[in-house]
Amino acid sequence: MGEEELEQEQEQVVNPWEVSAKDGGKIDYDKLIDKFGCQRLDQSLIDRVHRLTGSPPHVFLRRGVFFAHRDFNEILDAYEGGKKFYLYTGRGPSSQSLHLGHLIPFMFTKYLQEAFKVPLVIQLTDDEKCMWKNLSVEESKRLARENARDIIACGFDITRTFIFQDFEYVGGSFYNNMVKVEKCVTYNKVVGIFGFSGEDHIGKVSFPAVQAVPSFPSSFPHLFSGKDDLRCLIPCAIDQDPYFRMTRDVAPRIGYHKPSLIESSFFPALQGETGKMSASDPNSAIYVTDSAKEIKNKINKHAFSGGQDSLEKHRKYGANLEVDIPIKYLNFFLEDDDELEHIKKEYAAGRMLTGEAKKRLAEVLTELVERHRLARSAVTDEMVDAFMAVRPLPNMFD
């Protein structure tokens, strides 16, 4: 490794277990695209999604939340030629309650499922969290089921969705594919991609194969038997890219298409884009279990403001939207483009105050969280079983 590269590595770290910007700075997404070798998601692709599906592009596409991809154009080419594909996403169940950032890939995946009318597999990597978070097998399995309820509450179509947890599903064809992948990846290669060391246990070294194989249709014989040619599209946050770089490397060698990816940026902490949402600091994030009062208090007390520190200065200079968390959060969750533009204009000009922006944000998030809470409370144990049952999905492509 050259000295320059080494320096870069110390500046910004993004991998499945650590996301940290260069001291005090923001994540540099352009640099990340270069380093990982993915492609930028440009307007022409977004227009193409609009044209092919006939539904307006999701806010997360319009506003650049999903900003990078790998071979997404190939999925669209195939789709345009009448060939469907399937979606694959997942979650590592490391905690009982999810924060808003956790919902983003699922909200987006639901939109993709609806727009393209395609099947979806969702992997709950209870094994991953058991190994990395040092949870017991039993506790990881329990969290996977709890998280499944939140995922189902996002509104997935049960006739097109299969949710599975590794501790229950790994075996059979899935395991056959894992071994094929494991035979193609050397120890040096995983060390290069993931940075494992001699002290890491062997579970970690072999885990990437578990996250790789849902990209191959034959891992789901009850769904895709005889459809080895089916393509896979993976919506995920960009920190998952290393897993799928490895997967894409192996895919053609064992007879499958490389999975395509559509990748999002990270949802910032309340304290600002330089901060990290941390599980140990409940004030760094809004949770789907927070009450209206908690949401309001967290935003008022902790959301980093780009407004000026006196009213006089604010009226004169306006807010710095680049660092303002209420604006960043509204950019994710306020769907009305005109209203968002209006708020940004007024706030930047100093005619709108931080308190007003925060008030609007609290309303938007309270509504979202309330909706989620209601939906989640309607998800019964039987529904979780139904989503997780190994079963055919007869009309999944209709």
Residues of span 210-229 touching ligand TRP by CB under 6 A: 211
Cβ 124 vs Cβ 152: under 8 Å: no
Residues of span 96-125 touching ligand TRP by CB under 6 A: 123, 125
Q: For residue 91, state whether it binds ligand TRP (rule: CB under 6 A).
A: yes
Q: For residue 302, state whether it binds ligand TRP (rule: CB under 6 A).
A: no
Sequence-ordered list of residues with C-beta below 8 angstroms from that of 69, at least 6 positions apart, any chain: 38, 39, 40, 41, 45, 260, 261, 262, 263
Listed ranges 84-92, 140-148, 327-335, 339-347: which one lies at the site for ligand TRP (CB under 6 A) = 84-92
Listed ranges 57-65, 110-118, 149-157, 234-242: which one lies at the site for ligand TRP (CB under 6 A) = 234-242
Residues of span 333-392 touching ligand TRP by CB under 6 A: none
- Residue 230 or 340: the one with the smaller Cβ distance to ligand TRP is 230
* E runs forming strands in the chain: 13-15, 18-20, 39-40, 66-70, 85-91, 120-124, 161-165, 231-237, 260-264
Q: For residue 209, state whether it binds ligand TRP (rule: CB under 6 A).
A: no
Q: Shortest Cβ distance from residue 235 to ligand TRP (Å)? A: 7
Question: Which of 314, 391, 325, 313 has its CA nearest to residue 362?
Answer: 325
Q: Shortest Cβ distance from residue 284 to ligand TRP (Å)? A: 18
Q: Rule CB under 6 A: choose which of 12, 16, 120, 145 binds ligand TRP.
A: 16
Q: For residue 326, state whether it binds ligand TRP (rule: CB under 6 A).
A: no
Q: Shortest Cβ distance from residue 210 to ligand TRP (Å)? A: 8
Q: For residue 328, state whether it binds ligand TRP (rule: CB under 6 A).
A: no
Residues of span 36-65 touching ligand TRP by CB under 6 A: none
Q: Shortest Cβ distance from residue 245 to ligand TRP (Å)? A: 13
Report the amino acid identity of residue 177: N
Q: Rule CB under 6 A: choose which of 57, 90, 217, 268 binds ligand TRP.
A: 90
Q: Shortest Cβ distance from residue 17 to ligand TRP (Å)? A: 8
Cβ 104 vs Cβ 66: under 8 Å: no
- Residue 71 or 128: the one with the smaller Cβ distance to ligand TRP is 128
Q: For residue 259, state whether it binds ligand TRP (rule: CB under 6 A).
A: no
Which pairs from 392-398 meet CB under 8 Å and 24+ separation?
392/222, 392/223, 393/119, 393/159, 393/160, 393/161, 393/162, 393/223, 394/159, 395/159, 395/160, 396/118, 396/119, 396/159, 396/160, 396/223, 397/84, 397/117, 397/118, 397/119, 398/117
Question: Which of 391, 112, 115, 123 has its CA nearest to residue 233?
Answer: 112
Q: Shortest Cβ distance from residue 261 to ligand TRP (Å)? A: 9
Question: Which of 20, 87, 82 has its CA nearest to residue 52?
Answer: 82
Determine if residue 172 is left, alpha or beta; phi over 0 gives left, psi from -120 to 50 gives alpha, anything else beta. left
> Which parts of this chain interact with ligand TRP (CB under 6 A)?
16, 88-92, 123, 125, 128, 211, 234, 236, 240
